[in-house]
Structure 1
Amino acid sequence: MKKYFILASALALFISCKDNKQATSTEEASVATEEVQDSIAPFQDEMMENAVIYEANIRQYSPEGSFEAFTKDIPKLKEMGVKILWVMPIYPISQVKKKSADGKFAEDIEDPKEREKILGSYYAISDYTEVNPEFGTKEDFRKLVKTAHENDIYVILDWVPNHTGWDHVWIEEHPDYYTQNENGEIIDPINPETGEAWGWDDVADLNYDNQEMRKEMIADMLYWIKDEHIDGFRCDVASNVPTDFWEQAIPQLREEKNVFMLAEAWQPELMENNLFDMVYGWDFHHEMNKIAQGELTAEAWEEKMQEMQEKYKTEHILMNFTSNHDENSWSGTVKERLNGGVETFAALSFTAPGMPLIYSGQEYDMDKRLRFFEKDTISKETNHMFSVYKKLGQLKNENVALNGGQQPASYEPLENSAPKQVIAFKRMKDGNEIIYLANVTNKEVEVEVNLEGDFQDYMNNNKTLTIKKNQKIKMLPWEYHILK
């Protein structure tokens, strides 16, 4: 009897300790979750008014190409006014049909040393809920999110809903999740307008007629919100996915958390009915390139602005950019495309209506096309543009005359005597006023602007610039002013 009592007591003590341990683990997990969530205020629409967004290319950002190396520099993003961090795909990359820059698959390259260099496309995903070991561990990613939140920066993940890599688990387990040809073979994505393949043969096209696939896609997105505390998604080729999927998915995401949603698209309808918060300002981007290259004059900017005001509603938000991962790798560096106007058009992207984007390396004056399928590294030897972005970001964050969200500042073009060479406009809100004035040519120009008074020349240490009526201002090639 005594032995039984001792055994029972020991067993009770063991169960009690086990229960306490489980309770402690649960409490610790709860505390950890609260720490992550409490380190940043819930995302609100008004935060889009003065935000800067940054695109992080983890692979190429540092020699290590790791989450840890990038995380160390997150405080620098805050200095540039960044409030939203878009992280390019972090998921494991398919090892089947892994593509190289010349279009070959890695498995077809005979030289083993050359084959090892091929890391593949971030957008050929083999698992939506894991991280690419190339970048580190999931715990490393959690530290990135936590550090961003501690610096008042929201984290959105690059989501690839249109296709997966060829060794994704769904290929074997659920081939019906994919588009198939008449022979029952899974195919790569096709252009819905032409019916021809895009040429993205390193990925398999997902079939959105399959409702079970949709459910799993949404569940995987919810995992990152609920378990990893991210704050939204940038959705790759969002317009290639049926709009009714977004109508199905986004409300479910927002039931869990008020997420920020960016579509790689330009269609206004994607911002209707509380779907995406922002789309790409492709038209403005292409316009800036053409003006800088002399294909169009400065007049084209105002013509495009009027066109966009008719196309989009006041509350619609466009992302303004001079570069991103696609443009840098495939279309050229900012210096190649914008000539001497790199800083001029960067300032335009911050002062025009919308939200400005900084792509990894732009703050370090990057003048190279980053290799897309292989390891490359951004050089950080110079950083003139860091100080430029820092000043622009501060102005964007603090002056409501640059608000570009759903309650934007007004936009008013300013008459000037050199409309083919000079872009001039005024932004106003709540008694605040910002004027952008730029010579967007490679030649000196004298211009008379419909302005009069003393202005603070913001990018020139707030020195006073006096403009008199009927006075011509001499402007050097690519010279610009932001006047307060």
Structure 2
Amino acid sequence: MKKITLILITLLFISALPAQAAIEKKERLWQDETVYSIMIDRFNNGDINNDIDANAKDPNVYNGGDFQGIIDKLDYIHDMGFTAIRLTPIFDNAKNGYHGYWVNDFYKTDEHFGSIKTFQKLVKEAHKRKIKVLIDFVTNNTAVSHPWVKDSSKQDWFHQKQEISDRNNQQSLENGWVNGLPDLNQDNPEVEKYLIDAAKWWIKKTDVDGYSLPEVNHVPLSFWTDFSNEVKKEKKDFFLLGVMSENTNIDMNQYHSVGIDSLFDYSQSEKLRKAFATTNQPFSPLTPAFESSQKKSGLMANFLDNEYTVRFTNDIVDERQFPGSRWKTALTYLYTTPGIPFFYYGTEIALIGGEVPDNRRQMNFRTEKELIDYITKLAEQRKQLASLTRGTMEMLYDKGGMVVYKRVYKGETSIIAINNSTKSQKVILTEDQLAGGKELRGLLAGDLVRSRDHQYILIVDRDVSEIYVLTEKSGIKISLIVSLIIVYILVGIFLFFIIKRRKNKKIV
């Protein structure tokens, strides 16, 4: 009887959901993910036993963060709604290589981060929480101290020592040394084989779900063709993210054509930062990139900052704005437009930071409940509404810092309204833009807008955003009333038998 009652109560709640509620996502696609990017050394110190030469007060050396520290915070990450994590390189590094980019050994974990066994545990624990794991895989260079550098038999494994002279010249990018680091010659078959074999080994050994590829545009396209073909044979839906150099003018389509699934676009990031660091900015410069993204299955990597850039909070403070409000507005846009949101650790506490290494400050887990709660709400909507991750995007209104756009997927329609201006805004949507006779139900602030005369009138306060789902007009639902009656009857019967049983026991 208890089970029947519980089942009917569950059906009752389901029947109370809006018509055209969330379309079930039968299989997770990469555009459904929301990624939390972590610099391992700066996130959380979970094991003090590996704090070799660590100094938490010096931003240029190891500070103590490690694999165990990430394991300890997986629930924290999961509870904010993130479905994937991206980690800086895990490989053994040269002295002070806290960031992971000075690789000394491609087959060992860095001793400051923990053993390969602990990393395997990290991946396993992440997968238990349905969190995917990406790691940076360095292919462009090694550390100066790498044994190959002094090995006379491997001199042709590197390009001749020379700095990059022209960042708009592809040959210079591919052959030049970045910051004095020995530049690998991927045209050498032995180098290509070694890097691909190592990449495949880590997939087999740890079950990671993808690689992010630093300085992807410093490596020949021919290498990426072979690399992507080989590593994707090791695991279904294995993901490759290209991390471009800043301010590059290279055509990104060519990287998609050789198997790179998604790319960081710094030029788009700069436009996002300009639009959201302060108020009353136009959104029009952002639109072309998202239109282009839709043609690539929504796999653009959207971000406001990362381990290479100044923190976005700095931009906000420079504009004398309140970080919480600006971050909420910016993240609403990031979470509801085509592509995959990449969220840099510390954003949830509006962490500040200038140029490298200041932008890589240690994470502080002090409570910033309001912003964290908002991020969690956004993530919930991304999970529930397929239109936010897979739908088409159409701009409906863009004026003076107020923007309204539509996402549509398999009959599900979401309307996103963002007021990034200094005053309340009124926007009228016509039947040409949105089917009349229905209503818009707000999922962030609980706003409700009914169609009147085939129009929807949105009134949005400053610094407020809303995600609406288009539904049939609410009213008295017969199915809801019937469900309630059945539940009450069954509960009554259940209580009757309980009372009768107790009376019988007393008589005995």
Aligned to 1:106: none
Aligned to 1:322: 304
Q: 1:55 aligns with which of 37, 40, 45?
A: 37
Kindly indicate whether residue 162 of structure 2 is the aligned counterpart of residue 178 of structure 1.
Answer: no
> 2-side partners of 1:231 and 1:264: how far apart?
17
Summarize the Cα distance change of 1:365–1:133 in structure 2 as closer, same or farther, 3 Å threshold. Answer: same
Kindly indicate whether residue 266 of structure 2 is the aligned counterpart of residue 286 of structure 1.
Answer: no
> What is the TM-score normalised by the length of structure 2?
0.72
Q: After superposition, what is the alpha-carbon deviation per residue over 1:222-270, rounded to whole angstroms, capped at 9, x for unaligned?
A: 1111122212200011122111101111111122222111111370221
> What one-letter code is carried by the residue in structure 2 that aligns with 1:409?
G
> 2-side partners of 1:132 and 1:374: how far apart?
22
> 1-side partners of 2:352 and 2:429: how far apart?
37
Matches within 5 A, 1:117-156: 121-156=99-134
- What is the CA-CA distance between 1:311 and the residue it aligns to? 7.7
Summarize the Cα distance change of 1:248–1:318 in structure 2 as closer, same or farther, 3 Å threshold. Answer: same
Q: After superposition, what is the alpha-carbon deviation per residue over 1:288-318, rounded to whole angstroms, capped at 9, x for unaligned?
A: 21223569832424xx423553587242510
Q: After superposition, what is the alpha-carbon deviation per residue over 1:400-455, rounded to whole angstroms, capped at 9, x for unaligned?
A: 1112xxxx311111136xx13211101011221211111223x1143323157642
Summarize the Cα distance change of 1:336–1:241 in structure 2 as closer, same or farther, 3 Å threshold. Answer: farther
Kindly indicate whether residue 384 of structure 2 is the aligned counterpart of residue 398 of structure 1.
Answer: yes
> 2-side partners of 1:256 and 1:447: how far apart?
53
Q: After superposition, what is the alpha-carbon deviation per residue over 1:117-155, rounded to whole angstroms, capped at 9, x for unaligned?
A: x55542121112211112122222111111111111221
> 1-side partners of 2:82 and 2:456: how far apart?
38
Work out whether residues 51 and 81 of structure 1, in 8 Å CA contact, stay in contact via their aligned partners in 2.
no
Aligned to 1:108: none
> What one-letter code is carried by the residue in structure 1 that aligns with 2:155?
P
Aligned to 1:464: 448
Aligned to 1:66: 66
Work out whether residues 268 and 316 of structure 1, in 8 Å CA contact, stay in contact via their aligned partners in 2.
no
Work out whether residues 121 and 372 of structure 1, in 8 Å CA contact, stay in contact via their aligned partners in 2.
no
Summarize the Cα distance change of 1:358–1:374 in structure 2 as closer, same or farther, 3 Å threshold. Answer: closer
Moved more, 378-387 or 140-149: 378-387
Matches within 5 A, 1:328-477: 328=310, 333=314, 335-336=316-317, 339-340=321-322, 341-369=326-354, 372=357, 376-383=361-368, 384-403=370-389, 408-415=390-397, 419-441=399-421, 443-450=422-429, 454-460=439-445, 462-466=446-450, 475-477=460-462
Aligned to 2:48: none
- What is the CA-CA distance between 1:221 and the residue it aligns to? 0.8
- What is the CA-CA distance between 1:84 and the residue it aligns to? 2.2
Aligned to 1:478: 463
> 2-side partners of 1:298 and 1:235: how far apart?
32
Summarize the Cα distance change of 1:482–1:392 in structure 2 as closer, same or farther, 3 Å threshold. Answer: same
> What one-letter code is carried by the residue in structure 2 that aligns with 1:363?
E
> 2-side partners of 1:127 and 1:283: how far apart?
33
Aligned to 2:485: none
Work out whether residues 87 and 135 of structure 2, in 8 Å CA contact, stay in contact via their aligned partners in 1.
yes
> What one-letter code is carried by the residue in structure 2 that aligns with 1:144?
L
Kindly indicate whether residue 179 of structure 2 is the aligned counterpart of residue 193 of structure 1.
Answer: no
Matched residues, percent identical?
Answer: 19
Work out whether residues 400 and 409 of structure 1, in 8 Å CA contact, stay in contact via their aligned partners in 2.
yes
> What is the TM-score normalised by the length of structure 1?
0.75
> 2-side partners of 1:466 and 1:454: how far apart?
4
Summarize the Cα distance change of 1:247–1:200 in structure 2 as closer, same or farther, 3 Å threshold. Answer: closer
Work out whether residues 119 and 375 of structure 1, in 8 Å CA contact, stay in contact via their aligned partners in 2.
no
> 1-side partners of 2:77 and 2:108: how far apart?
26
Summarize the Cα distance change of 1:357–1:299 in structure 2 as closer, same or farther, 3 Å threshold. Answer: closer
Work out whether residues 59 and 65 of structure 1, in 8 Å CA contact, stay in contact via their aligned partners in 2.
yes
Aligned to 1:267: 252
> What one-letter code is carried by the residue in structure 1 that aligns with 2:413?
E
- What is the CA-CA distance between 1:175 and the residue it aligns to? 2.2
Work out whether residues 83 and 154 of structure 1, in 8 Å CA contact, stay in contact via their aligned partners in 2.
yes
Kindly indicate whether residue 61 of structure 2 is the aligned counterpart of residue 75 of structure 1.
Answer: no
> 2-side partners of 1:475 and 1:348: how far apart?
15
- What is the CA-CA distance between 1:467 and the residue it aligns to? 6.9
Residue correspondences, number? 402
> What one-letter code is carried by the residue in structure 2 that aligns with 1:360?
Y
Aligned to 1:30: none
Moved more, 384-393 or 469-478: 469-478
Moved more, 84-93 or 364-373: 364-373
> 1-side partners of 2:256 and 2:360: how far apart?
36
- What is the CA-CA distance between 1:284 and the residue it aligns to? 3.3
Structure 2 residue runs without a partner (length 5+)? 1-25, 46-63, 245-250, 431-435, 470-508
Q: Secondary structure at the match of 1:82?
A: coil
> What one-letter code is carried by the residue in structure 2 that aligns with 1:193?
N
> What one-letter code is carried by the residue in structure 1 that aligns with 2:68?
E
Summarize the Cα distance change of 1:471–1:433 in structure 2 as closer, same or farther, 3 Å threshold. Answer: closer
> 2-side partners of 1:355 and 1:413: how far apart?
19
Aligned to 1:158: 136
Summarize the Cα distance change of 1:307–1:234 in structure 2 as closer, same or farther, 3 Å threshold. Answer: closer
CA RMSD of aligned residues (A): 3.0
> 2-side partners of 1:434 and 1:231: how far apart?
30
> 1-side partners of 2:86 and 2:138: how far apart?
13
> 2-side partners of 1:289 and 1:88: how far apart?
23
> What one-letter code is carried by the residue in structure 2 that aligns with 1:53?
V
Summarize the Cα distance change of 1:192–1:283 in structure 2 as closer, same or farther, 3 Å threshold. Answer: closer
Kindly indicate whether residue 194 of structure 2 is the aligned counterpart of residue 216 of structure 1.
Answer: yes
Structure 1 residue runs without a partner (length 5+)? 1-43, 96-117, 181-185
